[in-house]
Amino acid sequence: MKKKLIAGNWKMNGSLAANDKLLKDILVGVGQAACQMAVGVPAVYLSQCQALLAGTAIDLAAQDISAHEVGAYTGEISGAMLKEFGVRYVIVGHSERRQYHGETDEVVALKAQRALGCGITPIVCVGETLAEREAGKTDEVVKRQLAAVIHTNGHCISEVVVAYEPVWAIGTGKTATPEMAQQVHAVLRAQLKAASDHADRIKLLYGGSMNAANAASLLAQPDIDGGLIGGAALKAQDFLTIIAAAH
């Protein structure tokens, strides 16, 4: 059976001291987890977290990757650089990057391609805004976002992880109900099935105010293969509770 994946997204949070404590607390409590695990840390802390996670079952994730390979792109970080720090996953197309950094569907698709080319698994985020949901456009929006990634990545699409993150649920405390999330996941799964013979092995994560209290019911849905966790990933006990719910 496909193992679930619980991935934390620390966003722009942390410090050397706070990261050290958080990861040590998680490692002490995690035991033999049934799921795969990762933490997405700010780029400046990759080296520190690589050392703290060495030899453990928790993988390292980055929060972004350049769409370019190398060269005059001030401030950007390439896939090859991430790879040098043991990065296994990279979040691409998070709604905060789409919203605040103008990332288009095409840029997100290129970033996913760049990650795959470096042997890093992209966690591709898709999701609708509240206005789009209220206008009945949820399926149209997530399918358009995913279609760009499928178009650019061809048969390699079976190597990505997809995270459905309704924008209105991120950091707001409002979660999609398990049924609402499952409905969109089923749409995404059908789209992936049409694009790949291996769609069943693609992990579809849910993200958006997943927490210790609601994780089990979300993770029980047939097409929810894990979670992308923001706020709750910054509290060791909450993150551990979510990990324990992912079996």
Q: Which is nearer to ligand PEP, 153 or 209 (CB)?
A: 209
Using only C-alpha atoms, the chain has a radius of gyration, in whole angstroms, of 17
Residue 43 CB, shortest distance to ligand PEP, in Å, is: 16
C-beta neighbour count of 51 within 10 angstroms: 12
- Number of residues binding to ligand PEP, judged by CB under 6 A: 14
- Measured between alpha carbons, how far is 74 from 245 in angstroms, rounded to an integer? 41
Catalytic residue list contains 185:
no
Choose between 14 and 231: whose C-beta lies nearer to ligand PEP.
Answer: 231
CB of 121 to ligand PEP, least distance (A): 16
Report if residue 8 touches ligand PEP, rule: CB under 6 A.
no
Q: Are 53 and 80 in contact (CB under 8 A)?
A: no
CB nearer ligand PEP, residue 85 or residue 164: 164
Give least dist CB 234 to ligand PEP, A: 9
Q: Is 204 in the site for ligand PEP (CB under 6 A)?
A: no
Q: For residues 195 and 219, which CB has a smaller minimum distance to ligand PEP in the complex?
A: 219
Q: How far is the CB of 17 from ligand PEP (least distance, A)?
A: 22
Length of the chain: 247
Q: Quick check: is 165 catalytic?
A: yes
| 208 binds ligand PEP, rule: CB under 6 A | yes
x-or-dash pattern for ligand PEP, window 227-246, by CB under 6 A?
A: -xxxxx--------------
* Chain centre to alpha carbon of residue 206: 9
Q: Where are the beta strands (DSSP E) in the chain?
A: 5-9, 36-40, 58-62, 87-92, 121-126, 161-164, 203-207, 226-229
Kindly tell me which residue out of 19, 196, 209, 221 binds ligand PEP, with binding defined by CB under 6 A: 209
Contacting ligand PEP within 142-201 (CB under 6 A): 165, 170-171
Burial 198-223 (b: 16+ CB within 10 A, else e): ebeebbbbbbbbbbbebbeebbebeb
How far is residue 50 from each of residues 85, 158, 188, 229, 240, measured CA to CA in Å? Answer: 7, 27, 32, 20, 19
Binding site for ligand PEP (CB under 6 A): 9, 11, 165, 170-171, 207-210, 228-232
Task: State the catalytic residues.
Answer: 94, 165
